[in-house]
Structure 1
Amino acid sequence: MKATFALLSLFASSSGVLLAQAIPTLKTTDKKVQVSSTFYGFDERVQFSDLAKEEGKRLNVRMNATTSSELSGWKNPILIKVQTDSIQVSYRGAEYERVRITDGKDTVTVQVHYINLVPTFSEAYKAAHRKKALVAIPPVQELMHLSIALTPTGQKDRDMIHKSGPYYQKVMTRFAPYQNHAFIKKLDSMLAKSSDLYFNLVQDANAYDIQQGRIVDGTIYKTSGAIAPLLPLMQDFANTSKFPAFFAENEAYYQQSIARTKQLMPMEKMWQWIEKEYPNRYDCYKTVYSPLTGNNHSTRYYLTDDYQECIMFVCGSEVMDKNKADELTQQASLSGVVFTEIDHNYVNPMSDKHQKDINRVFGDRAKWAAKGGPADHYNGAYDVFNEYMTHALYCLYVRENYPKNVSETINKDRENLMVDHRKFIRFREFNQKLQELYSQRKQGQTAADLYPAMLQWSESLQ
């Protein structure tokens, strides 16, 4: 953190007057704190009393930037609002910007953390990776998943870890004696407070490597800082448990797993199809996973002026070990894991061109998403529409690339998942309408060209 900015920052109050002070303070008698940004598309509202109970009495707002355009976007303000006052915070060079809120008894802090994750790709790196779809099990990410599997929180959580199969049993048998190691205890305490920390831990692990038994910074990717404070304990755990030797002993299994994952997730096939349907182009896709990865999946995009790379942190073929379906059905099913990650690279930019209509048509959230499911995490009209479109596009991909019996099975399963479990309650009609319009498209039309028709139909849907 740059102390010059922390000691004296300029903020615009709701009255528009610039106030010079160490850390600005808002006074409230209300019970709610709102943190929002029209530009970034988020609107978080929390109870003041809940923040006052948190360790450190702090609400952290993480502003990760993995592209040059996201870095430029930091100049757009974030609104922090209470009942009678508000303040806008923008990036001015410091890693953190903070605002205090007090009700006269308790004081809490809203901390905006600006994290620059934009890598520097060398010309040699770009040349070596263009038009490549790569699959890997990196050692430090395997160490992180293995460690999470040993924590009580990892054991209780249904999505972090895939808890079945010979490899999982081998891990638990081999490393059970180290479950009380200080690193595992610290990791568990952090995950117990915020299960979402899983994503930063796993993604950051990809930026490290193991060389001669030492965990070292990689040469390409930057990190959010989630692992850095844990590195001494993590290194001691790796040494004590002899993790580097375990990883080397299982190299043959990892290669076998990677080969099977490539079979069941034909990345090149998906990549070629979607770039026929959308104008955006990517240079490289990386699928990074652990055989222990469960249902928690995420993506990081790295976009520069002349090179675009996407890394998907997903599960591997192990999740299909007990699946008794035929090979093509298994492939179409598991392909959905990566397809619904990569198609955001194409769906979202196209949605940007129709955002005004999307906000109007999908603004009535109750029409499109019920409460009590994963849909609760998609707050705005834009996010809800994109989730509809990405999964409908996956169903369209399956219909166009697999036999009818496979397509019918996948479409039915996906519709049930989206409606019954995820609570996107009109997905069944939406999905079938997209396929109808695609079948009736004019010569030369693509899926991207169907946005206006889909939005017009969605608006008329009762």
Structure 2
Amino acid sequence: MKSLPKYALALMLAAGTSACYAQQVKELPGIKSNVETITYVLNGTERHADWKISPEQKPDRLSVECNQKVTKVAFVTDVDSITFNVKVGDTIQFYVLQKGKEKALTEIVGVPKNVNFTKKYIREHQGKFSVEVPEVHELANILVAISSIGQQDSNMVDMTTPYHKEVMAHFAPYKNHPIMDVVNRHITKVFDNESYWYYYAMKMNACAYVFDKKGSIKNEGIIQKMGFSNQDDPILVNRALIEDFAKKSNFREFYKQHQPYYNELMQTYRTQNPIVQQQEWLEKMFGFKYGNYRVTFSPLVGGAHSTMGFEDNGFNQTVMFVKRADLNPKYNEKVNEMRNTRVVFTEIDHNFVNPTSDKYTKQINEIFADRAKWVVESNGTSAYGSPYNVFNEYMTWGIYSLYCLDKFSAEDNATFIPIMEHQMEQKRGFIRFGDFNQKLISLYKENPQISIDELYTNLLDWSKDVQAKL
């Protein structure tokens, strides 16, 4: 038998490799789903009901913090489930096959412990709250502000202040720095869902970092990753470029010169946001507690807010990423307090509303499945892609109305609540919020001692009736 030419053997080997690879891909396990939003469960108890199937991610990655030797991870759909045992360093792939959609390659990555709350840290922070304009966080917001979309999207960037003009005057000459190629490649459209995820990943993860004495950016070591769990950390990935931008633009001197301005904003924030009072009210309403609140903001943030909760060593910390407090001369002192308190309250109470909503996931997914009946596809509502997230945004803002009923006068409520309802419906696109909110208020007024579960049950029944009539 004649020997094969080398190129023919190479072709056969390549074909064989491709066939083996295709066979391996086919052999990945999979689960079926009739719905777009499913649940993942950690160790049988920690439920997350807002996993959106995203075939475009390739893969759609979930980083699982392994605080023990083996972490049990289950994905649960309306018709199927799959479970894996995950250890640090593991990468496990499977498919989610949503009916009528492209199958989604999904990946679980086991990562080390993310949070290190020492006994000393807990002693220093238990029952307290802080307000900060962190240095690396401000740098991340400046990168966004000088980006192409940052100069257009008023929700990401507040372009109305003298401070913004100073930022642009100082940093716009550096808009061609290589780090800006990265930012502009990922933040590409106004009010775009993917752009917002990257924006959040930048500013949230930035809060885990500080500058050392040499001007290098390093992780502080308390929380390794502060962004959402299914996203990479852009600060870690691009740290050398960000450090170079900071040095060439003389960022640290700019930040130092503006420290009196930041301090003034932080003091205004504290007076306008009685966080301890909010915390006590929410704990009484929902029946459970959180240990510590950390408010971070930048004078550059327009209205794009987020929050994350962290737990370690029996201590919980909620970090909020929000806008500055401001005073509108049109309103009296109390209405201004209501306006500013709303910003942080509706981030804090996600940490109370979301775990409560987890008990009602099935009803929420059924009632709020038809998005067109509850939101308009504009004004950033794409960030609330699941029925669960839509309902929670309705509920977090609605719960704030109940707080206002208890803490402010009828006259001030009559001024503020219509403003909030108009903002939700006309500016944010949650088109049924006024009716939803008034139903919630009426339930609370009828029985101020009503339990949170009774509120949920009554409100979901009302929402089901509304949905059926629309």
Instruction: Provide the C-alpha distance between the structure 2 equivalents of 1:67 and 1:358, rounded to a whole number of angstroms.
Output: 30
Match of 1:333 in 2: 339
Match runs of 1:374-413 below 5 Å: 374-413=380-419
Deviation of 1:389 (Å): 1.6
TM-score, length of structure 1 as denominator length: 0.79
Match of 1:122 in 2: 118
Change (3 A) 1:264 1:68: farther
Match of 2:321 in 1: 313
Matched, 1:210 2:211: yes
Contact in 2 for aligned 1:59/1:110 (Cα 8 Å): yes
Deviation of 1:240 (Å): 1.3
Match runs of 1:33-432 below 5 Å: 37-39=38-40, 40-42=48-50, 44=52, 59-64=58-63, 72=71, 75-77=73-75, 90=84, 92-93=86-87, 94=89, 96-98=91-93, 110=105, 112=107, 114=109, 118-192=114-188, 194-195=194-195, 196-212=197-213, 213-223=215-225, 224-304=232-312, 306-317=314-325, 320=326, 324-363=330-369, 365-372=371-378, 374-432=380-438
Deviation of 1:341 (Å): 1.1
Change (3 A) 1:281 1:109: closer
Instruction: Provide the C-alpha distance between the structure 2 equivalents of 1:314 and 1:60, rounded to a whole number of angstroms.
Output: 30
Match of 2:8 in 1: none
TM-score, length of structure 2 as denominator length: 0.77
Instruction: Provide the C-alpha distance between the structure 1 equivalents of 2:145 and 2:363, rounded to a whole number of angstroms.
Output: 44
**287-296 vs 242-251, which moves further:** 242-251
Change (3 A) 1:262 1:117: farther
Instruction: Provide the C-alpha distance between the structure 2 equivalents of 1:407 and 1:67, rounded to a whole number of angstroms.
Output: 46
Contact in 1 for aligned 2:49/2:358 (Cα 8 Å): no
Contact in 2 for aligned 1:165/1:321 (Cα 8 Å): no
Q: Unpaired segments of 5 or more residues in structure 1?
A: 1-18, 28-32, 52-57, 102-106
Deviation of 1:255 (Å): 0.9
Contact in 2 for aligned 1:144/1:205 (Cα 8 Å): yes
Change (3 A) 1:78 1:170: same
Change (3 A) 1:456 1:138: same
**348-357 vs 382-391, which moves further:** 348-357
Amino acid in the other structure paired with 1:184: M
Contact in 1 for aligned 2:64/2:108 (Cα 8 Å): no
3-state SS, counterpart of residue 181 of structure 2:
helix
Amino acid in the other structure paired with 2:306: S
Instruction: Provide the C-alpha distance between the structure 2 equivalents of 1:100 and 1:75, rounded to a whole number of angstroms.
Output: 15
Change (3 A) 1:406 1:345: same
Deviation of 1:188 (Å): 2.1
Deviation digits for residues 145-203 of structure 1 (CA, Å, limit 9, x no counterpart): 11221222211223221112122122222223322222223322232284120111111
Deviation of 1:377 (Å): 4.0
Amino acid in the other structure paired with 1:216: K
Deviation digits for residues 62-121 of structure 1 (CA, Å, limit 9, x no counterpart): 42557969x95x611378x9xxxx9968563345445699xxxxx998353636673021
3-state SS, counterpart of residue 261 of structure 2:
helix
Identity %: 29
Change (3 A) 1:375 1:88: same
Instruction: Provide the C-alpha distance between the structure 1 equivalents of 2:256 and 2:355, rounded to a whole number of angstroms.
Output: 42
Q: Over the residues paired in the alignment, what is the CA RMSD in angstroms?
A: 3.6
Contact in 1 for aligned 2:38/2:53 (Cα 8 Å): no
Deviation digits for residues 210-252 of structure 1 (CA, Å, limit 9, x no counterpart): 1212211112011243222211111111111221222222221
Change (3 A) 1:133 1:45: closer
Deviation of 1:365 (Å): 4.7
Change (3 A) 1:235 1:136: same
Match of 1:454 in 2: 459
Match of 1:24 in 2: 25
Instruction: Provide the C-alpha distance between the structure 1 equivalents of 2:335 and 2:315, rounded to a whole number of angstroms.
Output: 34
Contact in 2 for aligned 1:419/1:427 (Cα 8 Å): yes
Instruction: Provide the C-alpha distance between the structure 2 equivalents of 1:166 and 1:305, rounded to a whole number of angstroms.
Output: 43
Change (3 A) 1:138 1:95: farther
3-state SS, counterpart of residue 233 of structure 2:
coil
Instruction: Provide the C-alpha distance between the structure 2 equivalents of 1:122 and 1:42, rounded to a whole number of angstroms.
Output: 31
Match of 1:438 in 2: 444
3-state SS, counterpart of residue 174 of structure 1:
helix
Q: Unpaired segments of 5 or more residues in structure 2?
A: 1-19, 29-33, 41-47, 97-101, 226-231
Change (3 A) 1:188 1:426: closer
Deviation of 1:456 (Å): 3.2
Change (3 A) 1:453 1:116: farther
Change (3 A) 1:108 1:234: farther
